[in-house]
Amino acid sequence: MLFATFDYTLMLCAELGDYEMRYVLKPEFKKCVVQTQSWKKKGSSAAASLEEIYRYEEFEVELQEGVALEDWDSEQVELTDTSIFASYKWLDNPVSGDVVYRAVTDVDGDISDEEEEAIADDRADNLEDWEATKYTLEIQCESVWLPVS
């Protein structure tokens, strides 16, 4: 009964706009958190991305003003979408950071073996003429949204 009361209170606060729209976001399945970082070599057509899939992660998120959780109909959540999320942060838990898959993808242009190895080892920031171009963090499965009190 306490949970039903809490939901009612949360709904009432949402209608009145009296609370921050912050949630703990937990994927329902393992291996569905995907992080992709893309880089491009300055003055060249060379580009590449590093894709990592995490076994299990949790996030604290804050929705942008005007975004309603009850309007959510997508199983996929892109945490880096600033039209939906005002902020997000990775939460520490006993299995945080457990990468189960890592691969260099979308390789374009002439990339040396050393450059590809640095990208694969997540050391592209150390490459002299390379710059980060795009970063995405997605949950590619259904998620549980728990209000942060």
Here the tokens at position 22 are: 């912050």
CA–CA gap between residue 114 and residue 50 (Å, rounded)? 15
- List Cβ neighbours of 149 (8 Å cut-off, separation of 6 or more): none
* 47-89 pLDDT tens trace: 999 999 998 899 999 999 988 887 666 788 999 999 999 999 9
* pLDDT for residue 3 is more than 50: no
Contact 106, 48 (CB under 8 A): yes
Looking at per-residue confidence, does 41 or 2 come out higher? 41
**80-107 residue pLDDT tens:** 999 999 999 999 876 677 888 889 988 8
Instruction: Output the pLDDT for position 133.
Output: 95
Q: What is the pLDDT of residue 5?
A: 36
Least confident of 3-12, 16-25, 131-140: 3-12
10, HSE (Cβ side, Cα atoms, 13 Å): 18
Residue 6: which pLDDT band, with cuts at 50, 70 and 90?
Answer: very low
Extents of the domains making up the chain: 20-147
CA distance 124 to 130: 7
Helix (H, G, I), strand (E, B) or coil at 100: strand
